């Protein structure tokens, strides 16, 4: 008998730590080697909810195809949750969040939950994006926000707990069907249409 399942995917620029995030959560391990060629496809983890029920979290990674929207399109469509990750030591990975949000708003179902993640917070000395900038960006899109470190294991479990709770809370039942018509966070509406200074 298969368990109820939720699908969560990572998105963001190359080398922000998308694969590391999944590996840290599922295997509790971290490698400082660049993982882009690993071709991590998906991993899964069974978790037990507070009420004792078990669910399966299926985690989809985007491995080196971040720029090719068409490859991720089906994954984005099917995802119940998206971890949108940038690297706090890489300003351009942060600057591209807007573009990712455009893609998500365009493709994902309206009840897909998104969390903004500023990864590599252990590298504070090399920081190019302040925590406040991350918080502001998250507020702009009405997203939860966390700074994390895959290396030091900071906030990884918290991010997964949060997104799992958000997905289950809103879906009501832990089933695998697409829920239509439940508009929880309409990212496209929250999104600012033009930049201002």
> Which residues of the shown chain bind ligand GDP in the complex (CB under 6 A)?
14-20, 31-36, 119-120, 122-123, 149-151
Q: Give the nearest residue (CB) to ligand GDP.
A: 17
Helix (H, G, I), strand (E, B) or coil at 133: helix
Paired strand residues for 45: 57
Nearer to ligand GDP, 11 or 168 (CB): 11
Partner in contact with 151, chosen from ligand GDP, Mg ion, none, beta carbon below 5 to 8 Å by kind: ligand GDP
Nearest approach in angstroms of CB 73 to ligand GDP is 19
Nearest approach in angstroms of CB 5 to ligand GDP is 23
Tell whether residue 72 is a contact of Mg ion (CB under 5 A). no
Q: Which stretch binds Mg ion (CB under 5 A): 31-39, 41-49, 111-119, 167-175?
A: 31-39
CA 69 – CA 104 distance, rounded (Å): 10
Tell whether residue 19 is a contact of Mg ion (CB under 5 A). yes
CA 172 – CA 167 distance, rounded (Å): 8
CA 47 – CA 6 distance, rounded (Å): 11
Nearer to Mg ion, 19 or 185 (CB): 19
CA 90 – CA 129 distance, rounded (Å): 7
Nearest approach in angstroms of CB 75 to ligand GDP is 14
What separation in angstroms does the CA of 94 have from each of 17, 20, 26, 171? 13, 18, 25, 30
Using alpha carbons only, give the angle 39, 41, 43 rounded to the nearest 5 degrees.
130
Tell whether residue 119 is a contact of Mg ion (CB under 5 A). no
Nearest approach in angstroms of CB 101 to Mg ion is 20
């Amino acid at each position: 008998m298969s368990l109820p399942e939720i699908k969560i995917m990572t998105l963001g620029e190359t080398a922000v730590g998308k694969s590391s995030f999944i590996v840290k959560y599922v295997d509790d391990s971290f490698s400082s080697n660049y993982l882009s060629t690993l071709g991590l496809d998906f991993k899964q983890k069974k978790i037990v909810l507070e009420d004792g029920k078990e669910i399966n979290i299926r985690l989809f990674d985007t491995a080196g195809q971040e720029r090719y929207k068409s490859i991720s399109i089906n994954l984005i469509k099917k995802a119940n949750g998206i971890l949108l990750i940038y690297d706090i030591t890489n300003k351009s990975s942060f600057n591209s969040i807007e573009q990712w949000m455009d893609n998500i708003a365009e493709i994902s179902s309206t009840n897909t939950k998104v969390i903004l993640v500023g990864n590599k917070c252990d590298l504070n000395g090399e920081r190019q994006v302040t925590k406040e900038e991350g918080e502001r960006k998250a507020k702009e899109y009405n997203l939860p926000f966390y700074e994390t470190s895959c290396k030091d294991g900071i906030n990884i479990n918290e991010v997964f707990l949060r997104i799992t709770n958000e997905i289950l809370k809103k879906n009501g039942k832990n089933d695998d069907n697409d829920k239509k018509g439940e508009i929880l966070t309409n990212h496209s509406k929250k999104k600012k249409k033009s930049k201002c200074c």
